[in-house]
Amino acid sequence: MTRALPFTPRVAAASLSGESDAAWARHAAPHVGCAFLGGIALDDPTREAARALVARDREEFLPADPHAFLDRELAALADAPLRPAFNVRAASPEPLATAAATCARHDAILEVNAHCRQDEMCEAGAGQSLLHDPDRLVDQVRAARGTGATVSLKCRTEVPGVDLPAVCSRAHDAGADVLHVDAMDSEGVVAEVVATCPDAFVVANNGVRERRTVREYLAYGADAVSVGRPSDRPAVLRRVRAAVEAWVDGESAGFRVDEDESATDAPPAAAPDGRGGRSR
């Protein structure tokens, strides 16, 4: 039995702090199945960190009431032809549960941010610091999942001392159905996460621009890809969506896309786990 996918088409627009709001998501909507709004800091420690980031010229959302902001932005996408998601940062589970309940009401995905590597956010106990403390990460995922929301984990490779596939496995067991992996320069780690968490919906991120990068990530077993910085460029989103749909159509027809096409930008001959994508 094929289970429902969190979103289709299998292309997402990835969150960009201080930029990814409802208007941005609507701009991307014709080309993607999901848009991750945010990130947004939910509690006092992370909001203080966000203010410090703004002080050194980074963009951040800092509304007076972050939970009301989240609710308002999701309501603005009620008729949009995509599934919204919200990337959030918190130092403790309680604010995440509140945000997740709001996401559940809007049929949106709540994304736990274990990705931000800014020193201020990590010192507040959020972002990438959670990868070093999987017990706290699991507590956050469980708090969000307990509301009935679909939960995503945004994480990154190349964090010293972190076994990312193992951390992803723990988060998935705790209720993160979506694993949103920023591959950095270690694209092959996507295959390791897929092998460790075969039932998760894996979204690969970083450098997704055209067919070559799309096919590389899907060959490693990712279910979907996300576009970051160029997410406000329709030409890039159209190109990425076309590449994903060509790959999915090839899977449905029972052949490997790279074996059936004569393209010169073929993905690696075999992913480290020997698979060329997954059917759902």
Which pLDDT tens digit goes with each residue over 185-216?
999 999 999 999 999 999 999 999 999 999 99
In a domain, 46, yes or no: yes
In a domain, 162, yes or no: yes
**Are 44 and 20 within 8 A, CB to CB?**
no
The single-letter DSSP state of residue 61 is B
Residue 271 has pLDDT above 80, yes or no: no
Going 225 to 231 to 236 to 237, the CA torsion angle's sign is positive
**Are 56 and 9 within 8 A, CB to CB?**
no
The H-or-E segment that residue 111 falls in is strand 109-113
For 3-52, give the DSSP string. PPPSSSSSEEEPP-TTTBSHHHHHHHTTT-SEEEEEEEE-SHHHHHHHHH
In a domain, 177, yes or no: yes
In a domain, 219, yes or no: yes
In a domain, 269, yes or no: no
Q: How many CA atoms lie within 13 A of 110 on its CB side?
A: 34
**Are 20 and 69 within 8 A, CB to CB?**
no
Position 28 scores a pLDDT of 98
Position 266 scores a pLDDT of 39
In a domain, 278, yes or no: no
Residue 3 has pLDDT above 80, yes or no: no
Residue 67 has pLDDT above 90, yes or no: yes
- 162 CB contacts (<8 Å, ≥6 apart)? 131, 132
Split into its structural domains, the chain has a count of: 1
Any idea what the CATH number is for the domain that residue 189 is in? 3.20.20.70
Query: Strand 109-113 vs strand 176-182: parallel, antiparallel, or unpaired?
Result: unpaired
Position 250 scores a pLDDT of 84
In a domain, 76, yes or no: yes
In a domain, 276, yes or no: no
Q: Can you tell me the distance from the alpha carbon of 21 to that of 265, in angstroms, rounded to the nearest whole number?
A: 34
Q: Say what percent of the chain tops pLDDT 70.
A: 88
**Which domain covers residue 222, as residue numbers?**
11-260
